Amino acid sequence: MARGDRPYGTFPHDGAEQPSVTPTRATLRQRFAPFARRTRPAQWFVASVVTAVVLIAVGTALLPRSAVITQTDVKRAVIDALASSTPKPNVAIEAYDRVKESVVAVRTRTGGNATPQPRGAGFILDTGGTIVTSLHILSDAEAIFVVFYDGAELQAQVLDRQPEFDMAVLGVSAGGRKQATLASAKNLRVGDEAMVVGSPLGLGNGLSVGTVSRLGTLVQPAWGGPPIGGLIQFNAAVYPGNSGGPLVNRRGEVIGIVIVAANELTGVGFAVPIDAAASVAGSNPF
């Protein structure tokens, strides 16, 4: 543009003082950056502390409140601990106590002897005076007597004989005594408790303890006759005098009628399942 074309006031004046240029003011971020770089470790430390405090506060808020333990709670805990450490009653003792009053000793008079001799055992089937025992112990008997738990002795009559189960049903004139509780042998398993209550050697109620060792055993009786099948085999000791007595489970329930071990062996016993015996007696509850 020519000098003449410039608007008035735009011509430079020789010798006039030119205005100074003011530098641009630094932004806040630019001024803070050096400080931030110098204090970065401290910033990380503070952030870590704050985070930890927050996490602790949140965790404490989420935790369930602690229950106040009272003296009653302490006593209850002590009682529970003592109860758990107390030995459980022996199952054999309980079983015997439940059946002992229902077991009888069987005596017979033979060969013109005046004094009855111990022959075996039996158990009370009902309160009417019906008693179950083994048939073979009654052989050659001229008179049969049963001795109850309380010592009372009564003469008995044979009401029924079942040779296939080696079983006899006796009756006495007086009833009202405690009858045995029966339990089906159908659910027995090898390893279940099996206890014999009888009159070994004629010495009154005695107990021997074992387990079921086999089911459905076929045995040739030592006293002769046809084999008897379907028997419960157990390992409780049996002796002369146990025959006819009950084989009971851990609850004292009769599950079988004991017959003396083949060849008089001890430690190997057999019993007729109570299901069959009760059916013969006409009193099968199963």
Per-residue pLDDT band at 7 (split at 50, 70, 90): low
Q: What is the pLDDT of residue 133?
A: 94
pLDDT greater at residue 123 or residue 85: 123
From residue 96, how far is each of 50, 99, 102, 238 by CA, in Å?
A: 73, 5, 10, 16
- Other beta carbons within 10 angstroms of residue 249's beta carbon come to 22
Q: Are strands 269-273 and 103-109 parallel, antiparallel or unpaired?
A: unpaired
Q: Are the C-beta atoms of residues 158 and 138 closer than 8 Å to each other? A: yes
* CA atoms of 20 and 109, how far apart (whole Å): 151
User: Which residues does 126 contact at the CB level (< 8 Å), separation at least 6?
Assistant: 175, 179, 283
At residue 11, does pLDDT exceed 50? no
Residue that wins the pLDDT comparison between 262 and 271: 271
For range 111-137, the mean pLDDT: 89
Q: Is 279 a catalytic residue?
A: no
Mean pLDDT confidence for 124-135: 91
Burial class (CB within 10 angstroms; exposed 0-12, middle 13-18, buried 19+) of 274: buried
Residue 117, strand partner residues: 108
136 is catalytic: yes
What is the average pLDDT across 225-237? Answer: 89
CB 141 within 8 A of CB 110: yes
pLDDT digits (tens, 9 = 90+) for 153-180: 999 999 999 888 899 999 998 888 999 9
User: Would residue 243 show up in a list of annotated catalytic residues for this protein?
Assistant: yes
Buried b (16+ CB within 10 A) or exposed e, 206-230: bbbbbebbebebebebeeeeeebee
The residue from 134, 213, 243, 275 that is catalytic is 243
- Annotated catalytic residue, options 136, 199, 208, 213: 136
In terms of residues, how long is the chain?
286
Q: What is the pLDDT of residue 197?
A: 92
Catalytic residue among 134, 166, 199, 275: 166
Question: Quick one: average pLDDT of 109-117?
Answer: 84
Specify the range with the lowest mean pLDDT, choosing from 1-15, 52-66, 68-82, 191-205. Answer: 1-15
Read off the pLDDT band of 223 (50, 70, 90).
Answer: confident
- The answer on pLDDT for 78 being more than 90 is no
The whole-number average pLDDT for the span 189-210 is: 88
Q: Supply 227's token pair.
A: 């084999």
Percent of the chain whose predicted confidence (pLDDT) is above 70: 69
Who has greater pLDDT, 47 or 32?
47
Q: Pull the structure tokens for residue 162.
A: 């079942």
Average the pLDDT over 103-111 and give the result. 91
